[in-house]
Homo-oligomer: A and B are copies of this chain.
Amino acid sequence: MINRLIENIKKTQAPIVAGLDPMLSYIPGYIKQKAYEEYGETLSGAAEAIWQFNKGIIDAVYELIPAVKPQIAMYEQFGVPGVAAFKQTVDYCKEKGLVVIGDAKRGDIGSTSAAYAAGHIGKVEVGSESYYPFNEDFITVNPYLGSDGINPFISVCEQEKKGIFVLVKTSNPSSGEFQDKPVEGRPLYEYVAEKVNEWGSTLMGNGYSYVGAVVGATYPEMGKCLRKIMPKAYILVPGYGAQGGKGSDLAGFFNEDGLGAIINSSRGIIAAYKQEKYGKFGEEGYADASRQAVLDMKEDINNALNG
């Protein structure tokens, strides 16, 4: 799947992932109204609004980008109907040829991590049948529990040719509270990065590993350093746009082959119509505003990489 991600990136010339993290406040009123008329102001109504909103955006941008990253928390918050909308979104994105990165940040001990791995990127057996319950292509994972929390994901990656992105240095302001603590002469995140390199060493696609890393755009100097520690890891970079990361911060996340990083924008793409810059699109044109935001982001990043 890392190979397909790279193919998609080359084809679109856009190392961009659209974060499908819908909040109800991002969704145009007319979409919510229609959903509530059909399902009431219920969890199912919210889930329907999210799905219709996503579908509009996916239809407008799928040819321009290689991948999407739905944040499962934004669906899970609406209970079982929300989780169903997550699944519907994953399926539709895959139909459209997009690589789907499930942003779930799961991580637990052995058999429990194995259950998350099976449910999200692998398959489960029920009697004599087997199913791919959520069927994402990649999933983000939390390393705090150590190797025996990560290894079950790696086994599934190997079987299914899928991938993971391990949290190394997150984009949020307080990420340093634990991640930056000095451990044996270097920050903890560097130590985690060394582990990522080790975990991924036997799981190689063409030039890059099935085991990637999450490093926030908001920490460009650390990104440059982590790029060198994990030369074969694809880096998923959140924090561009709304969180403050700029195109000019991103060059250090990439390798000399122009590959090795994929930049996420969520609000900046899916709620673009709410920005003054894209105000002319209006609510009804929210999906076209998202499309324009993708084109602008692509230009910003490519200028930074070629500049």
Contact = CB atoms under 8 A, between A and B. Distances in A.
Interface of A: 21, 23-24, 32, 36, 41-43, 45-46, 71, 73-74, 76-80, 82-84, 87, 105-113, 115-116, 118-120, 124-129, 131, 133-134, 142-149, 167, 170-179, 181-184, 188, 191-192, 195
A148 B182 CA distance: 20
| Identical copies in the complex | 2
Contacts of A120: 76
Contacts of A80: 80, 83-84, 87, 133
B171 A78 contact: no
A77 B143 contact: no
25 contacts: A23-B115, A36-B127, A41-B127, A41-B129, A73-B112, A73-B116, A74-B112, A77-B116, A77-B119, A77-B124, A79-B133, A80-B80, A109-B171, A109-B175, A144-B167, A144-B179, A145-B172, A145-B174, A145-B175, A146-B175, A148-B173, A149-B174, A178-B192, A182-B184, A183-B188
A141 B195 CA distance: 23
B112 A78 contact: no
Contact of A119 (B82, B109, B143): B82
Contacts of A173: 148
A64 to B, nearest CB: 25
Q: Which 8 A-B pairs have the closest CB atoms?
A: A79-B133, A41-B127, A146-B177, A77-B119, A146-B174, A109-B172, A73-B115, A77-B115
Contacts of A36: 126-127
Nearest to A140: B108
Contacts of A145: 167, 170, 172, 174-175, 179
A42 B178 CA distance: 42
A79 B41 contact: no
Contacts of A106: 73, 105
Contacts of A148: 172-174
Contacts of A124: 43, 46, 77-78
Contact of A42 (B105, B126, B182): B126
